Structure 1
Amino acid sequence: MELISVAAVADNGVIGRNGELPWPSIPADKRQYRNRIADWPVILGRRTFDSMRDDLPGRVQVVLSRSASDYGIESAHHASGVDDAIETVESLGDDRAYVIGGAGIYALFQPVVDRMILSRIPGDYDGDAYFPEWNTDEWTVVDRTPYDEFTLEEWVRERR
């Protein structure tokens, strides 16, 4: 199964502040993000899930949380960790899932993701959530698409 992290990341690594994006809304980025993940399972943390309840992303949400919960939404599934999340996605018959945050979830999945789709937001922002660092020697940028307000990068992990 292919695991893909998707995130918007400022120059200084910030991805959020107080549960929100710290930069003004970028409609083109939001559109490409939503279109990319629309038909696939997404893996996310409980706080990120709760913040998106009014407009849930993906076809299925696999919610990582220390405690099991009935989310009251048919498409939401609980997972207790990385392996459980992967097994849940596989049990649904999918061969791809998108990891969509927050910071702790990105860090947990960083050792096992196959690709990263990163919207690079120019500038440094104050924040309390950061995308995890990674060893660039293990990754290759295979695509870079400039937009007016961001650059979309696709990174692929080098398997040796």
Structure 2
Amino acid sequence: MEKLMIVAVSENSVIGKDGDIPWDIPEDMKHFREKTTGHSVIMGRRTYESLPENYRPLPNRRNIVLTRSGLEDKPEGVIEASSLKEGWKAAEGYSDKAYITGGESVYREAMSQIDRLVVTRVHEEYKGDTYFPEIDKEEWEEDKRDDREGFSFIEYVRKD
């Protein structure tokens, strides 16, 4: 199973503000949906709870929520995991890919465990309270790039 991370991040590494995404890029939402549909998505509890209710759980995906305290309202189809290791295990056998979808602490913990980074780089700086860790160019190399107006879709693979 390939382990991936998917994120939209500003030029100053912001990924969130007050539990929300500080920009509105419909093409990025479409990109996220196309990449993750049919696969497992692993996210922290706060990220899961920040999803609009009508998108909870994310449809046509195995939703794995990392939580030590459990979810107050756990809908059918959501798997709770108490650790990232348990989250990866829960993703096995569902499809050939599992995506880490946030938030900040989950991204930081998973960075050393993934094979590919799927990044939407928003070409603007934002004020925020949630940040993505730096992509170490010694460890990662750009594999694919699609530049758009105001943002780019970039995929990185781990260097050998």
Q: Report the counterpart of residue 129 of structure 2 in structure 1.
A: 128
Residue type of the partner of 2:84?
Answer: V
Q: Report the counterpart of residue 139 of structure 2 in structure 1.
A: 138
The answer as to whether partners of 1:26 and 1:149 remain within 8 angstroms in 2 is no
How far did 1:67 drift?
2.1
Q: Report the counterpart of residue 2 of structure 1 in structure 2.
A: 2
Residue type of the partner of 1:151?
Answer: S
Residue type of the partner of 1:2?
Answer: E
The answer as to whether partners of 2:118 and 2:156 remain within 8 angstroms in 1 is yes
Q: Report the counterpart of residue 45 of structure 1 in structure 2.
A: 44
Any runs of at least 4 consecutive aligned residues in structure 1 with deviations exceeding 4 A, and if so which?
A: none
Residue type of the partner of 2:17?
Answer: R
Counterparts of 1:135 and 1:81 in 2: how far apart (Å)?
24
Which runs of 5 or more residues in structure 1 are unaligned? Answer: none
How far did 1:69 drift?
4.0
Counterparts of 1:126 and 1:70 in 2: how far apart (Å)?
30
* % identical equivalent positions: 34
Find 2:88's aligned residue among 72, 77, 86: 86
Q: 5 Å matches for 1:100-111?
A: 100-111=101-112
The answer as to whether partners of 2:65 and 2:79 remain within 8 angstroms in 1 is yes
The answer as to whether partners of 1:103 and 1:130 remain within 8 angstroms in 2 is yes
Counterparts of 1:93 and 1:48 in 2: how far apart (Å)?
21
Counterparts of 1:34 and 1:48 in 2: how far apart (Å)?
16
> SS state of the match for residue 12, structure 2?
coil
How far did 1:149 drift?
2.7
Q: Report the counterpart of residue 19 of structure 1 in structure 2.
A: 19
Q: 5 Å matches for 1:57-72?
A: 57=58, 59-69=61-71, 71-72=73-74
Residue type of the partner of 2:126?
Answer: Y
How far did 1:54 drift?
2.2
The answer as to whether partners of 1:43 and 1:64 remain within 8 angstroms in 2 is yes
